[in-house]
Amino acid sequence: MRQALAVLLAATFLLPATGSAETLDDVVRRLEGAYARITDLRADFAQTAFNKSLNQAIPARGTVYLKKGGKLRWEYSEPTPQQIVSDGRRLWVYTPVLNQVNIGEAPEALAGPAGSFLAGLGRLREHFAVRFLNPAQPTDGDGNYVLDLTPRTPLPTLARLILSVDPRAWEVRRAVVYDQFENTVTMQFTKVAVNSGLADRLFTFVPPEGVATVPLR
């Protein structure tokens, strides 16, 4: 469950931007400017969760939907179908293979700086220490800008965040979330669609008949 919630934090920085940038200040300013323009977002993702102590990597795939107000929906198709849904107040985690849904209040982290970019905060430097991962070479081999963000108030599930931003489409192509134990969740994003008018009904969940309801812990 902890890794699943860490993934939610990763998606909060799936941001488009505009224009070109050469300095860190330029990149940060454009990302901050993008916050105010986003109302909703959809993307396909490929995920790898790595447990450092076990030296184990678990791949996954699916689709993510985000909307202002802390609304989110993660639909995992591999390796095991699962849905993680929040209307900004409640959180549902539905696992069909277990025939159960975990229900609880949306984690506080989702309402904070790591989870509320769609609300238009747009103040990265207020909440994060921001640098290029390699200041001498701010782009990677694909030409993406690579940002290294450290929360000013670290969370157990978010101690560090690395973003790779495509300067042509100005979308985050890759995000790596580190937790306090240096476990990582790496996500690759494709087929990104912004402000497509996602319906609110996507962000509520009605358990199927016969499904066990279990408090979220």
pLDDT in tens, 67-94: 888 888 999 999 999 999 999 899 999 9
What is the 8-class DSSP label of residue 145? E
Residue 31, CA atoms < 13 Å, CB-side half-sphere: 26
Q: For 41-56, how does the pLDDT look when each residue is reduced to its tens digit (9 = 90+)?
A: 899 999 999 999 999 9
For the 2-205 domain, the top CATH level (class) is: mainly beta
What whole-number distance in Å separates Cα of residue 96 and Cα of residue 130?
Answer: 40
Which tokens hold the place of 21?
């940038």
pLDDT in tens, 102-127: 999 987 656 544 444 444 335 678 88
d(CA 19, CA 1): 38
Q: Where are the domains of the chain?
A: 2-205
